[in-house]
Amino acid sequence: MLYPRVSLYALMLAAAGIPLYIHLPRFAAVNLGIGLGVIGTVLLIIRLVDLVQDPLIGWAIDRWPDAQTLFAAAAAIGLAVGFPLLFMLTDGAGLGTLIAILVLLFSAYSLGTILLYGRSATLAKRPDPKELMTLAAYREGGQLTGVILAASAPALFVTLGASAQGYPAFGLFLGVLSVITIVLTFPIWRRPPITGEGLSFAGLGKSGGLRLLALALVNSLPVAITSTLFLFFVEDRLQLPGKAGPLLILFFLSAGASVPLWARLSNRIGPKQTLIIAMPLSIAGFIGAATLSAGNLSGFAVICIASGAALGADMVVLPAMFSVVLTRAGLNASAAFGIWSFAGKLGLALAAFFTLPLLERSGFFPGQPNSAQALETLNFAYAVLPCILKLGAFGMVLTLPSEVSAK
């Protein structure tokens, strides 16, 4: 039951990651009456907190390895409190209240994520590359299941009669899920922690970890942008109202189904070669999305399948590569994954900070008739810009040295 419990804890955390960025812009705009530009700025400001907080969280986890049960419980409790508070806000709620709740949520998410990834060697049955990749497959499978659940839950609650677009019921559901999760996953945090030497930038650079951190940041930007703009692209650019939820589920189902295949392939041919196969799928998906005409549901469904499969490779292979180089170098992993966590969330924040005000300046308003220029700007932000960034990440993978990418 070790790895399924890891999956469950990852599932809980996933709701505070990509799904929050999917739901938050629309929730804030429609339910709270807050402009897209303001939300983009708020998310970037919160990332400035993470700039200091995430490395400190990683340091604390390494400094007090025997407190991992306490850290795991604190993360779950933070999510259990934060989700209901957030999605029960109504129009007129102060911006300061929103920021305080988001800081709580993202801090709990950071704590749980850094603990889960930083304890890879502890949670794996054996701290070798093959077992670390197997652990990663279970962990990312849980993450993707959580993403599917959280991305689709508000629409499901609406069909069951929930009010306010299903968001208050959604918040309560996630709060209860967090409480159940910490109870069921308690045993995995009782395993004796495996620790290493103190982290330094020199050691991180020598191990190859810095290159992987840079790659993680660049590679996080395309999916961050598309996650932030997905609802707008489907409902306003493609003019497919009511189809965003099923398409999101299709996207993440494809990612989840692909995770064990990518993990098996990586163990056979190596992680670098696996990424070289997977990344062109994502690039092709962006090109296809940019050329779609309004109403083309089947075409975008195919793109969701291809790009979802590519995301599965990113999620399972890159963190496992990072864990392997840290384990080989004998470095403490939690502090390193504190930096890794910040890099990923910085990508999400930068996506919101640059794309949401860009859409606002172009005259784009979600759920309303928009000019051709506004829709062209949305098309550029959703498909063209991520394609360029993904090409950059692909080039970085091609230049990875063999000692970093070896299986």
Instruction: Using alpha carbons, list the distances in angstroms from residue 232 to 13, 223, 356, 364, 368.
Output: 25, 15, 11, 10, 11
pLDDT at 196 (0 to 100): 66
For residues 292 and 164, the model is more confident at 292
Token pair listed for 343:
């890099």
* pTM over the 0.85 mark: no
- Write out the E strands in 161-241: none
**Strand, helix or coil for residue 368:** coil
In the block, tokens 């069909």 appear at: 159
Mean pLDDT of 249-278: 91
Instruction: Give yes or no for residue 16 having a pLDDT over 70.
Output: yes
Q: How far apart are CA 9 and CA 232, in angstroms?
A: 30
Tens digits of residue pLDDT in 298-318: 999 999 999 999 999 998 899
Q: How far apart are CA 209 and CA 205, in angstroms?
A: 6
pLDDT at 44 (0 to 100): 77
Instruction: Give yes or no for residue 404 having a pLDDT over 60.
Output: no
pLDDT at 403 (0 to 100): 54
Count other C-beta atoms under 10 Å from residue 375's C-beta.
21
Band of the pLDDT at 277, cuts 50, 70, 90?
very high
Instruction: Give yes or no for residue 407 having a pLDDT over 60.
Output: no
**Strand, helix or coil for residue 197:** strand
pLDDT at 245 (0 to 100): 78
Token pair listed for 388:
């360029």
Tens digits of residue pLDDT in 321-346: 988 888 787 777 787 888 877 777 77
pLDDT at 46 (0 to 100): 80
Count other C-beta atoms under 10 Å from residue 24's C-beta.
21
pLDDT at 5 (0 to 100): 95
Tens digits of residue pLDDT in 228-243: 899 899 999 999 988 8
For residues 206 and 178, the model is more confident at 178
Say what the alpha-carbon torsion angle 309, 310, 312, 317 is, to the nearest 10 degrees: 140
Facing residues of 197 across strands?
Answer: 331
Band of the pLDDT at 187, cuts 50, 70, 90?
very high
Token pair listed for 126:
């054996």
Instruction: Give yes or no for residue 204 having a pLDDT over 70.
Output: yes
CATH number of the structural domain spanning residue 338: 1.20.1250.20
Instruction: Give yes or no for residue 47 having a pLDDT over 90.
Output: no
**Inter-residue contact 163 to 88 (CB < 8 Å):** no
Token pair listed for 8:
């469950």
For residues 333 and 59, the model is more confident at 59
pLDDT at 185 (0 to 100): 95
Look up the domain containing 112 and give its range.
2-405
pLDDT at 199 (0 to 100): 66
Mean pLDDT of 393-398: 96
Mean pLDDT of 170-174: 92
> How many domains are contained in the chain?
1
Instruction: Give yes or no for residue 350 having a pLDDT over 90.
Output: no
pLDDT at 297 (0 to 100): 96
Average pLDDT over all residues of the chain: 87
Q: CB neighbours of 300 closer than 8 A, spacing ≥ 6?
A: 234, 238, 240, 247, 289, 292
- Write out the E strands in 159-202: none
